[in-house]
Amino acid sequence: MAIFKGRDDLIKSLQEAKRNQDKKGLEAEIKVGDILKKYLPENTYIIAQPDIGELHPDFLIINPHYGFRIVEVKNININNIEGILSNGVLQTRFGNRNPLAQVKSHVDGLKNYLISNHPNLGLGDPYKSIGYCVIHLGFSKRSFEYKFANQLNKWSSEDKRDYFKYHLFSEQLDSGIVNAIERATKFQVKGYSLTDNAQMEIVESIKVSHIKMDEDGYFERFNDHEEKIALVNAELNQIKKNMQSYQINSKQEEMIVGKKRNKFIFLIYPIIIALFIIGFTVFKALDADEIGTEKVLSSFESLDDRTEGYIEVKAKVTRFYYDSNSDTKFLTLSDGELEIEAVIFKNTKVPFIEEGETYIFEGNIQPSKNQKGNEIKITGIQ
C-alpha cells in the first residue's frame, strides 16, 4: 500500500466547495487517490496537488524504481464528448479540450523544480524519469472504443498504442494500474534507482497546494459560466432561428411604429399622457396587495391558458444564452415537470443568472414569436 500525501487537504477542499462542478472533480480525485494508494507498492508516494511550479497537477507519484509520474484525473461524461484526435484532443460540447497536453505541460515544471531544489541528489537528467498520464474516471475504455470506433479505425497502430499508453480508464483502476502507471513514459530508463534518502528528501520538500492552479482549475473554477454558454452553443442553430424571428418581427414592428409615429405623433403623445394618468390613478386606488404582487406561481400548468398578464413565477434555469449582438438573453425555465421559454430584452436590469439555479421571475406572459405556446417577457428577477 502506497503513502497518500494530501488526502486530508482534498477532503477539506471538498467540504468547503460550493459549486457542484468543484465537488465532482474533488470527489473523483479522492477516489482515484485511494485506488492508487491501495494498489501501488508501499515504497511509493502519492502527492495530491503538488506545488511544483506555477501550475499544479492532480497527483505526483514518486517510485524509487521508475522515478516520477504526473497524473491528471478527468471525470467527463462520455455523452459530452463528440470526437477525438490522436494527439489527445477531445472535441466536447464545451469546445476542444486536451487533457494530455495539460498533463504534459507539468513535466518541465517538475524537471526545473528537481534541478533547482535537489541538485546534489544525483538525479542525472530528471526529464527522462518523468512520465505522465490521464485517468478518465467518467467512462470505461470499452465504451470509449465503442463510441469512437470509426475514428479509431482511421488511426495507425502506433497512434492507438501511444494513445492508450497515456490514457487510462475506469476499469483499469485495479491491480493492473501498477504496470499501466509505470509504462506511461516516453523513456524506459533501465536500472533507474532513487535511494530512500533521496526519495524522502524530495517528498518532504514538496508542499501540497491548497488552491488548484492549473489549466483545468482555471476553466472549471473561474470560467464555468463560459462553459455553460458554450454548452448552449450546441443548440446554436435553433437559437439563431429564434433570434432571427425575433429580429424580423422587431424590425417590422419598429417600421410600423415609426410610420405611425411620424404620421400621428401629435395625436399619440396626448393619448399616452392620458393613459399614464389614468393608470397611475387606478394603481393608487387599488390595494397594493392585489397588484404587482400576485401570488408567486410554482407550476407552469396554468400558463398555457393565458395569453397575457403580469406573473411572478418561481422556476429553475435549465438553459441560458446571451446574444451579444442584440444584448438579448434567452432562457428556458422549468418548474420540475414543465418548461417554458423566456426572454430578457436589452436595458432590462437583472442580476447574474446561472444555469441550475432557481429564481423568482417577474414579467408578462405572451405568445411566443414562433407561435409555439407562450413565453415570459422578463422584467425583473429576485
**Whole-number percent of the chain with pLDDT over 90:** 49
The three grid cell numbers given for residue 298, joined into one nine-digit string = 410554482
Given a cut of 90, whether residue 94 has pLDDT beyond it is no
Q: How far apart are CA 74 and CA 144, in angstroms?
A: 14
List CB contacts of 21: < 8 A, sequence separation 6 or more: 220, 221, 224
Under the banding of pLDDT at 50, 70 and 90, the label for residue 223 is: very low
110-129 average pLDDT score: 90
Place of cell 467527463: 76
Given a cut of 80, whether residue 295 has pLDDT beyond it is no
Calculate helix-pair angle for 20-39, 7-16, nearest 10 degrees: 160
Q: How far apart are CA 256 and CA 337, in angstroms?
A: 39
The three grid cell numbers given for residue 212, joined into one nine-digit string = 488548484
The three grid cell numbers given for residue 129, joined into one nine-digit string = 524519469
pLDDT at 72: 96
Which tens digits make up the pLDDT trace of 153-211? 999 999 999 999 999 999 999 999 999 999 999 988 888 889 999 999 999 999 998 66
Q: Are 83 and 148 in contact (CB under 8 A)?
A: yes
Q: Are 243 and 323 in contact (CB under 8 A)?
A: yes
Phi, psi (deg, nearest 5) at residue 241: -60, -45
Which tens digits make up the pLDDT trace of 55-92? 789 999 999 999 999 999 999 999 999 999 999 999 99
Partner residues linked to 96 by β-bridges: 91
Phi, psi (deg, nearest 5) at residue 333: -110, 150
Place of cell 498504442: 161
Cα–Cα distances in angstroms (integers) from residue 335 to residues 162, 187, 314, 322, in the given order: 48, 56, 7, 22
Under the banding of pLDDT at 50, 70 and 90, the label for residue 240 is: low
Given a cut of 80, whether residue 252 has pLDDT beyond it is no
List CB contacts of 168: < 8 A, sequence separation 6 or more: 133, 134, 135, 136, 177, 180, 184
Which tens digits make up the pLDDT trace of 38-54? 999 999 999 999 998 77
What does the mean pLDDT of the chain come to?
Answer: 83
Cα–Cα distances in angstroms (integers) from residue 233 to residues 94, 228, 320, 322, in the given order: 8, 9, 10, 10
Ramachandran region of residue 6, left (φ > 0), alpha (ψ -120 to 50) or beta? left
Cα–Cα distances in angstroms (integers) from residue 381 to residues 74, 88, 291, in the given order: 36, 42, 17
**Max CA pair span of the chain:** 96
pLDDT at 350: 83
Given a cut of 50, whether residue 219 has pLDDT beyond it is no
